[in-house]
Amino acid sequence: MGKLLIFSGNSNPTLAEDIARRLEMLVSKAIVGAFQDGETRVRLEESVRGADVFIIQSVCPPVDHNLMELLLMLDAAQRASAERVTAVIPYFGYARQDRKRTGREPISAKLVANLIATAGADRVLTMDLHSPAIEGFFDIPVDHLRATPLLADYFRGLPLSDLVVVSPDAGGVRRANRFRHFVNSAAALAVVFKERHEHGEPEILGLVGEVEGKTAVIVDDLISTGETIVKAAELLAKRGAHPIYACAVHPVLAPGAVERLEESVIEKVVVTDTIPIPREKCCDKIELVNMAPLLAKAIMYINKGLSMTALFKEVEAEWLA
C-alpha cells in the first residue's frame, strides 16, 4: 500500500491532530471552507497519487455541512488518484434513521452510506454505530470499533462497590452487558423500559433488576437531549441506587442537554471525544475519554494490511488485563 496520509475536515480537527501525532506524522494540508455563496469548498494541498488516504470527519452538528465536507474530500482524493481512500467517521450522523417508523419516510442511514461509497470511499472506519445493522447498508468494507473497553477502564479506576450496570432501554442490553464484562463481570445488570412518543420524548415505564443500595452506571451509545438518561437516573434514585453515573460514546448534546445533566442526580457523565464539546457546553460533571489511541492503532492496522479481528482481541486483552 502507498504512503499513509491523513486529512481532516472541520468537524473534529483536534482529534485528527492527536491521531496523527500518535502515528508520528502531521495532518496533511487541505483547504476546507466555503465560497461566498455558501457552497462548500475543498482542495487537497498535498499530492495523494498512489497514497493510502484516511479522511477523518465526524458527521456531527452541523450534520449536513460536515457530511458535505466529507463527501467532497472523498471525491477529491479519489479523483486525484489515491490508491485507497478510507473515511474515518468517529461519529456517524443519521445512524438513528436506520428504518422507517411510519409511512412515507426515508431510510436516511442507508442513503448516507450510499453517498459515502459513491463519493469515493473504498473503506469506512467508524465507532459505535447506533445500530450495528448499518454496517450492512454499505457495499464497501466497514471496520466498526467499540469504545466500551476504554469507557470501562475509566470506571475500573473508581472505588465502585456493589455495582449495577443499567441499560436505559431494552435495545441497549447487549451494550450494557459488554460494559459489565469489562468493568466487573460480577456486577448486576438492570434494564429500564421506556416508550418513545411521536414527539420524541421518552416515557419511563419501569425497571427490571435490583438497584437498591448499589452504585449504578447507566450505559448508552449517545447522549442527545439527555432526557432518556436523566429520567432513567431519577427512577434509579427513587429505587435506592446511589451514587449514579452515566457513560456514553457520543456526546451529541443537543440544546438544553448540558443544563439537564448538570441539574440531574447523576454524579458524573463520562463520554468520548468522537464529537468535540465546545467550551460553552462543558460542565464539571462531564469527563472525556480520548479515542485517538484506538483510532490511531486501527489506522495503522488498516494501512499495514493487518487483521482487524486481531486488533479487537488485542484491545480487549489490554483492557481486561
Give the pLDDT score at 198: 59
Give the pLDDT score at 160: 76
User: How many whole angstroms separate alpha carbon 190 and alpha carbon 145?
Assistant: 25
CA distances to 60, 105, 306 from 120, in Å = 20, 27, 22
Question: Does the pLDDT of residue 199 top 80, yes or no?
Answer: no
Question: Does the pLDDT of residue 217 top 60, yes or no?
Answer: yes
Q: What are the structural domains, with CATH classification, of the chain?
A: 4-146+292-320 (3.40.50.2020), 148-289 (3.40.50.2020)
User: How many whole angstroms separate alpha carbon 298 and alpha carbon 221?
Assistant: 20
User: How many whole angstroms separate alpha carbon 155 and alpha carbon 135?
Assistant: 29
Average pLDDT (192-220) is 84
Q: What is the DSSP string of 99-120?
A: S-SSTT---HHHHHHHHHHHHT
User: pLDDT of 260-275, one tens digit each?
Assistant: 999 999 999 999 999 9
Give the pLDDT score at 191: 97
Residue position matching grid coordinates 436505559: 168
Give the pLDDT score at 194: 77
pTM above 0.85, yes or no: yes
Give the pLDDT score at 201: 66
Does residue 192 sit in helix, strand or coil? strand
With 0-12 / 13-18 / 19 or more C-beta atoms within 10 angstroms meaning exposed / middle / buried, residue 199 is: exposed
Q: Which three cell numbers stand for residue 97?
A: 434513521
User: How many whole angstroms separate alpha carbon 162 and alpha carbon 37?
Assistant: 58
User: How many whole angstroms separate alpha carbon 244 and alpha carbon 236?
Assistant: 8
Give the pLDDT score at 313: 85
Residue position matching grid coordinates 468537524: 11
- Percent of the chain predicted with pLDDT > 70: 97
Give the pLDDT score at 9: 98
Angle at 192 between CA 189 and CA 195, to 5 degrees: 155
Give the pLDDT score at 321: 60
Question: Does the pLDDT of residue 2 top 90, yes or no?
Answer: no
Q: Which three cell numbers stand for residue 99?
A: 428504518
Question: Does the pLDDT of residue 203 top 90, yes or no?
Answer: no
Does residue 45 sit in helix, strand or coil? coil
Give the pLDDT score at 196: 66
Give the pLDDT score at 312: 87
Please, which residues have CB within 8 angstroms of residue 106's CB and are 6 or more apart in sequence?
A: 97, 100
Average the pLDDT over each of 69-78, 254-263, 277-286 and give the range with the smallest value. 277-286
User: pLDDT of 112-137, one tens digit each?
Assistant: 999 999 999 999 999 999 999 999 99
Question: Does the pLDDT of residue 15 top 90, yes or no?
Answer: yes
Give the pLDDT score at 200: 59
Beta bridge partners, 288, equal: 271
Sign of the C-alpha dihedral computed for residues 124, 130, 135 and 137 taken in this order: negative
Average pLDDT (35-60) is 98
Task: Name the nearest CA neighbour of 146 among 126, 120, 174, 121.
Answer: 126
Average pLDDT (233-262) is 96
Give the pLDDT score at 320: 63
Give the pLDDT score at 61: 96
pLDDT, averaged across the chain:
94
Catalytic residues: 194
Contact between residue 32 and residue 65 where contact means Cβ atoms under 8 Å apart: no
Please, which residues have CB within 8 angstroms of residue 289's CB and are 6 or more apart in sequence?
A: 147, 150, 151, 153, 154, 270, 271, 272, 273
Question: Does the pLDDT of residue 178 top 60, yes or no?
Answer: yes
Tell me which range, 24-38, 150-164, 194-208, is most confidently predicted by mean pLDDT. 24-38
Please, which residues have CB within 8 angstroms of residue 104's CB and are 6 or more apart in sequence?
A: none
Sign of the C-alpha dihedral computed for residues 136, 180, 302 and 80 taken in this order: positive
Q: Which three cell numbers stand for residue 181?
A: 464484562
- Percent of the chain predicted with pLDDT > 90: 83
User: How many whole angstroms separate alpha carbon 115 and alpha carbon 108?
Assistant: 10
Give the HSE-up count for residue 6: Cα atoms under 13 Å, Cβ half-sphere: 26
Confidence of residue 283 (pLDDT cuts 50, 70, 90): confident
